[in-house]
């Protein structure tokens, strides 16, 4: 009998400082735990030394695009598209 492969989903969002994103993340984690799904979190911004947020979505998208282990990706598109623009986001999502 062949064993079923465990699914692995990536989740990309802008940062961990957003209450709404944290609530959604908690729901995704709860669902994944109940359904035996692996999650990989990708955070699209980082805090600079001068307490500013810098985007590095392109790096996240490159890692996701080149991954052969992800079965799907969940994106917090509103916040990402707001940072890089709808047209650029659509290119990455495609």
In a domain, 88, yes or no: no
The range of the structural domain enclosing residue 67 comes to: 39-76
Model pLDDT, residue 62: 73
The number of folded domains in the chain is 1
Inter-residue contact 24 to 76 (CB < 8 Å):
yes
In order along its 94 residues, the chain shows pLDDT tens digits of 455 789 999 888 777 677 888 888 899 999 999 999 999 888 776 555 565 555 666 677 777 777 888 898 888 766 667 767 788 778 777 7
Sort 85 into a burial class: Cβ within 10 Å, 0-12 / 13-18 / 19+.
exposed
Model pLDDT, residue 89: 75
Model pLDDT, residue 29: 96
In a domain, 61, yes or no: yes
In a domain, 7, yes or no: no
Structure token digits, residue 26: 């908690």
């Amino acid at each position: 009998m062949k064993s079923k492969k465990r699914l692995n989903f990536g989740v990309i969002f802008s940062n961990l400082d957003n209450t709404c994103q944290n609530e959604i993340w908690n729901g995704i984690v709860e669902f994944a735990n109940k359904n035996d799904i692996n999650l990989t979190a990708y955070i699209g911004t980082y805090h600079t030394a001068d307490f500013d947020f810098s985007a590095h979505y392109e790096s996240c998208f490159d890692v996701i695009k080149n991954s052969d282990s992800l079965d799907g990706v969940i994106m917090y598109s509103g916040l990402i598209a707001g940072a890089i623009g709808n047209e650029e986001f659509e290119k990455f999502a495609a």
